[in-house]
Amino acid sequence: MEQSLVQGMTSQAAFDGQPANLVTLQNSHGMQVVLMDIGATWLSCQVSLAEGAREVLLGVNTMADFIAHQSFLGVTVGRYANRIAKGRFSIDGQDYQVSTNQAGNTLHGGVEGFDKRRWSIESQSVSAVTFSLVSDDGDQGFPGKVNAAVTYTLTDDNQVVIGYKAITDKTTPVNLTNHAYFNLMGAESGADCREHRLMIAADRYLPTNDVGIPHGELKAVEGTGFDFREAKLVAQDIMSDEDQIPAKGYDHSYLFDTKRDPEAPVAVVTSPDGRITLSVFTDKPAMQLYTGNWLEGTPNRSGGTYFDYAGLALETQFLPDSPNHPEWEQPSCFLKLGEEYAYQTVYQFDC
């Protein structure tokens, strides 16, 4: 772990007045990831190449920058990732109003989502760490007490495995994901994520309005710029669809086929130089592709700021505003007493 990262993230107190705790995982190939208990955050991901390590995850080096930025770099987001229209939904005829924090809607759990909490370190080893969090009944307006856990594992196959679990004592929507931004040329390289090649194994995407709320039905990707079923440059069709204009690029969810091969990747990203390929595997029903369209001004690790399209996020999750759309072909986003929320996403790096 770089000493500057340790010092920068621990020399200043976090939200609760105490320093953060950092955990480093390393495998036999020299790959290294750094995690933090604040936000159960994936801070760093260094992939080992012949000439040395390449940092492929956008991030910051100081707690001050972590607190200041609003781009959710590498954090675990919840209780409900993505957006809920006007922060409203109903359960068994009872209406709920939860915290709104973006254009009158709820984004990533509200004003004080899971990314702004100190998670407990339940266990750790050379290759894995588990963070846990208790979200009380009424937290940000959500019903039910939720006990959540996120486990990060680094394997000797250069896989970062993220396992999510949660239970509740009352029916409530739960949707946990990681908001890592990837730039496989190097986070501080100045490379543009639109020059990466991308494949997404999905036939449908979800159109949204100018504030990211779904409108209408899922739409076929065929014949649109949202079609990534065959790998292509992200730049090839960006801004070519009316649906992309308000978002300034891709910031949309893709729904996977329920009958897909669970052993096949849902997304594959290749660096412009061809040195690193990232394959994503998940049992989540959908994934949000976000091409970093509004990253301008977000602090980086070198004392400067990132620019728009500096990295792309591949957020595995339920579709946005799912609490208000039971008709969509995916498992229910409502977790009930006696059930367990249990999902896994794998980011595999080949070089």
Burial of 239 per CB tally in 10 Å (0-12, 13-18, 19+): middle
- The string over 69-94, giving b where at least 16 C-beta atoms fall within 10 Å of a residue's C-beta and e elsewhere, is bebbbbbbbbbbbbbbbbbbbebeee
Coil vs helix vs strand at 63? helix
Handedness of CA 61, 295, 278, 332 (dihedral sign): positive
Tally the C-alpha atoms within 13 A of residue 282's C-alpha that lie toward its C-beta: 30
Q: Which residue has the tokens 């194994």?
A: 201
Q: Known catalytic residue: 315?
A: yes
CB neighbourhood size of 347 (10 A): 26
Q: How far apart are the C-alpha atoms of 336 and 320, rounded to whole Å? A: 19
Select which of 69, 196, 315, 325 is catalytic. 315
For the record, the structure tokens of 59 come out as 């991030």
Question: Cβ contacts of residue 223 below 8 Å, gap of 6+?
Answer: none
Select which of 69, 108, 179, 325 is catalytic. 179
Q: Known catalytic residue: 325?
A: no
Burial of 128 per CB tally in 10 Å (0-12, 13-18, 19+): middle
Name the residues annotated as catalytic.
179, 315
